[in-house]
Amino acid sequence: MRIAIDMDEVLADPLKKFIKLYNRDYGIPLDTLIDPGNEVYHHVPEHLDHKWYEYINEKGFFRDLDVIEGSVEALKKLQEQHEVYIVSAAMEFRNSLEDKLDWLAEHFPFISWENIIFCGNKIIDADVLIDDRIKNFNHFKGRTLLFSSPHNLLITGYERVDTWQQVLEKLYVEA
């Protein structure tokens, strides 16, 4: 199978970094537990909700994100049996391109540059797409796995995975 995998909130954790930066800059506690169905910016005062976009557009924001637990090991296992591609809508945030490429090289060095796709719309030819945003499933013809993130927890009607262990189980890959 050809498996396409999103980066943010699937492999990398931008929410944790946003919360850290917000707490640093404003000294206002922002909990890491975001209410189901809400974006992180819904949890900040309205006059500061633009900070999310300022942070993610800064050079370096995406460079040191935490790795989602279990993702490195799972991608190694998936790669043993399948073609694995990283597909990120990185074009949305111009400064993220180099950061994301360097981040992948550090944490997923076994994924070739030839298997990294930075795009706008995720119009791709793959058998499986693992993503946290259902908008990326709109024109996808293969199997979709919705990777759980606070903003999508109220969404139903999609095959959902909460962990990388569940991804391996659903794709019949031995853990």
Q: What is the DSSP string of the chain?
A: -EEEE--BTTTEEHHHHHHHHHHHHH-----S-PPTT--GGGGS-GGGTTHHHHHHTSTTTTTTPEEPTTHHHHHHHHHHHSEEEEEE-GGGSTTHHHHHHHHHHHH-TTS-GGGEEE-SS-----SEEEES-GGGGTT--SEEEEE--GGGTT--SS-EESSHHHHHHHTT---
What is the pLDDT, as a whole number, of residue 39? 73
Q: Give the Å distances, CA to CA, from 100 to 4, 88, 94, 103.
A: 16, 9, 11, 5
Q: Quick one: pLDDT at residue 74?
A: 98
- pLDDT of 112 > 90? The answer is yes
- Predicted confidence (pLDDT) at residue 125 exceeds the cutoff of 70: yes
Which residue among 6, 13, 99, 131 is the active-site one? 6
Residue of higher predicted confidence among 105 and 47: 105
Asked if the model's pLDDT at residue 66 lies above 70, the reply is yes
Instruction: State pLDDT tens for residues 24-36.
Output: 888 777 665 566 7
Which residue in the list 8, 99, 131, 132 is annotated as catalytic? Answer: 8
Does residue 18 register a pLDDT over 70?
yes
Stretch 40-52: mean pLDDT, rounded?
71
pLDDT at 31: 63
Average pLDDT on 10-30 reads 87
Least confident of 28-37, 66-75, 97-106, 131-140: 28-37
Q: Is pLDDT above 90 for 106?
A: yes
Is 125 an annotated catalytic residue?
Answer: no
pTM for this model (two decimals): 0.90
Q: Tell me whether residue 6 is one of the annotated catalytic residues.
A: yes
**Residue 175 confidence (pLDDT):** 61
